[in-house]
Amino acid sequence: MPDLMLNGCTISYQEFGSGSVSVVLTPGGRWGGYVHRVVATALAKDFRVVTWDRRNTDARADIVVAGDQSESDIWADDLAALIEALKLGPCYVGEYAGCRVTPLLCVKYPKLVKGLMLAWCSGGDYPAGRLPKNFYQAYTRAALRGGMKAVTETNHFAASIKQNPGNRQRLLAMNPVEFVRRMAYWEAFFITSGDLPIAGCRLGDDEWASIQVPASVTGGVDPTHPTAAAQRLARLLPKAHYHAPVVTEAEWDANFSATIPYPTTSNFQGERIAPVWRDFIRQREA
């Protein structure tokens, strides 16, 4: 995978396909771009597709636990820098699950976006309270009990270090107190966001309504990605098309559990959402 130095951080990305229409895919959670391999491969039959590793995820990008914005804002700034560096804009941007980064890109850098595609949106008190336990509290607990060495041994950061050995030294060089403070600051954007359209994304109703690009919003069917969250976004976005969930509750229960690794479940998501996103882009381009 190629690397770029963006905003003081090394970001890795991967390209699929070719053509004049560009699509950039952003994962949810703390996963790297590898989880979008299936949807990227499917879309690459018609378009140029780019996936990328955000900083502080389980992939190759640098670990940089710093900054005065929300973590989603930082990722949105990196995404904008990536689009500009690769000369992709204006392009289509897609994101599942969560949908915290690309909407911020649309608000902060509207000229870079041609169309917005969201699926499995996280909204409401349940994800606002549940997700920070995995995204932040686990690493805060490790730092408080065992210092930064314990942080490097968590499954998430150990995976990143395996792909980018320099991340171990970056973490060990951090003051544990400063690390905990930064994690707690980022966590605050989540635990206070249950009333907002998307958990962990600071945008309010008026800011969502200011996004003027065509949008495709696909609902989820579980408490973390409730159908109502996607329906709310579709009402707020002026040029949105709402698409019913592409999985049933029974399929979700069968395929999404703690015992099944996320790349496997993300591949299932990619298979289901690729036709929806392909049709959306084709209709816009036509």
Q: What's the whole-number mean pLDDT along residues 150-165?
A: 96
Q: Residue 258 phi/psi, 5° resolution? A: -65, -20
What pLDDT, on the 0 to 100 scale, is given for residue 260?
63
Q: Do 136 and 212 meet the contact criterion of CB atoms below 8 Å apart?
A: no
Helix (H) or strand (E) holding 168: helix 166-172
Cα dist from 55 to 5, 99, 160, 228, 276, whole Å: 11, 17, 10, 30, 28
Q: Concatenate the DSSP letters of all residues of 246-274 into one string.
A: SS-HHHHHHH-STTS-HHHHHHHHHHHHH
pTM higher than the cut 0.95 = yes
Q: Do 124 and 107 meet the contact criterion of CB atoms below 8 Å apart?
A: no
- Which pLDDT band holds residue 257 (cuts at 50, 70, 90)? low
> Looking up tokens 């979700």, which residue turns up?
252
Of 63, 156, 163, 79, the closest CA to residue 113 belongs to 79
Distance CA 21, CA 32 (A): 23
Distance CA 89, CA 105 (A): 12
Kindly give the pairing relationship between strand 9-16 and strand 48-52.
antiparallel
Token representation of residue 46: 């018609």
Distance CA 124, CA 213 (A): 25
| Ordered domains of the chain (ranges, CATH) | 3-128+189-285 (3.40.50.1820)
pLDDT at 118 over 90: yes
pLDDT tens digits, one per residue of 194-238: 999 999 999 999 999 999 999 999 999 999 999 999 999 999 999
pLDDT tens digits, one per residue of 52-100: 999 999 999 999 999 999 999 999 999 999 999 999 999 999 999 889 9
Task: Count CB-CB contacts under 10 A for residue 276.
Answer: 18
Distance CA 243, CA 253 (A): 20
Kindly give the pairing relationship between strand 22-27 and strand 240-243.
unpaired
Task: Count CB-CB contacts under 10 A for residue 278.
Answer: 17
What pLDDT, on the 0 to 100 scale, is given for residue 132?
96
User: Is the previous residue joined to 97 through a cis bond, with omega within 30 degrees of 0?
Assistant: yes
